[in-house]
Amino acid sequence: NAGVTQTPKFRVLKTGQSMTLLCAQDMNHEYMYWYRQDPGMGLRLIHYSVGEGTTAKGEVPDGYNVSRLKKQNFLLGLESAAPSQTSVYFCASSYGDSLLNEQYFGPGTRLTVT
Amino acid sequence: AQSVSQHNHHVILSEAASLELGCNYSYGGTVNLFWYVQYPGQHLQLLLKYFSGDPLVKGIKGFEAEFIKSKFSFNLRKPSVQWSDTAEYFCAVNDPGGSYIPTFGRGTSLIVHP
């Protein structure tokens, strides 16, 4: 099992450019999440999904969009990147509404917006 | 909304010292509690979790945590730290009667000097 994978690992964008981050999990998890991690701010939830075809806003959703067309994939899009979106992005997945709902995290994507 | 406080933002210890990291949460009902660890340059991974039963939970690498319901706390402990414990530690809480979406604390950075 690969667990949770993320592509790309690193990316540099110019202000106004767009990009999509891909998260994939092979554990048949229902729930998937996108977080950003910034120094001193901990993990902040951007968007999440409780199942295929569903998405919901987290704590800091502005400037991001997501899609969950397949159960195993969760895409995070930046339509017009801004320097404030420079961060490390982590995807996670979990079983969801069960006693096994600890999260499994991907390796992260380091994004720099210049 | 649930909130999670980690009062120690930065902790510096020498090897063999004892460790206790504080975690307090706001929700008064039944909770699931987690500690995650993030080693330098890596993704978060589960250290230990509490769902029910014995309030003293043992995790990997000699870590343990105690759930004290009356104090809304889930403090992480280790009797003797090692240089390899240098990492960032995150406490997380979710409400199993609600959305199962966890709330994270801001994290504690632990540096252990050899």
pLDDT tens column, A84-97 = 999 999 999 998 76
Chain B's closest residue to A93, CA to CA, is B101
Average pLDDT across chain A, whole number: 94
Tabulate helix, strand, coil % of chain B (nearest 5).
10, 50, 45
Amino acid at A66: V
The percent of residues above 70 in pLDDT, for chain A, comes to 96
Confidence (pLDDT) at B99: 73
Confidence (pLDDT) at A41: 87
Tell me which residue of B92, B57, B95 sits closest to B77, measured CA to CA.
Answer: B57
- Say if CB A23 and CB A108 are below 8 A apart: no
How is residue A23 annotated by DSSP? E
Confidence (pLDDT) at A100: 65
Confidence (pLDDT) at B52: 87
- Per residue in A47-89, pLDDT (tens digit) is 999 999 999 999 999 999 999 999 999 999 999 999 999 999 9
- In the three-class reduction of DSSP (H, G, I as helix; E, B as strand; rest coil), residue B10 is classed as strand
Residue B94 pLDDT class (50, 70, 90 cuts): confident
| B window 69-88, beta carbon within 8 A of A | none
Confidence (pLDDT) at A99: 66
The arithmetic mean of pLDDT across residues B73-95, rounded, is: 95
Residue with tokens 């995790």: B59
Confidence (pLDDT) at A91: 97
Residue B100 pLDDT class (50, 70, 90 cuts): confident
The arithmetic mean of pLDDT across residues B53-65, rounded, is: 95
Query: Is the CB of residue B43 less than 8 Å away from at least one CB of chain A?
Result: yes
Residue with tokens 């929700």: B27
- In the three-class reduction of DSSP (H, G, I as helix; E, B as strand; rest coil), residue A83 is classed as helix
CB contact under 8 A, A99 and B42: no
Tell me which residue of B15, B1, B26 sits closest to B83, measured CA to CA.
Answer: B15
CB contact under 8 A, A102 and B46: yes
CA distance B92 to B65: 13
Residue with tokens 């500690």: B35
Torsion on CA atoms B80, A105, A49, A100, rounded to nearest 10: -50
Query: Is the CB of residue B59 less than 8 Å away from at least one CB of chain A?
Result: no
Chain B's closest residue to A32, CA to CA, is B101
Rg of chain A over Cα atoms, rounded to whole angstroms, equals 13
Chain centre to alpha carbon of residue A24: 10
Query: Is the CB of residue B2 less than 8 Å away from at least one CB of chain A?
Result: no
CB contact under 8 A, A107 and B107: no
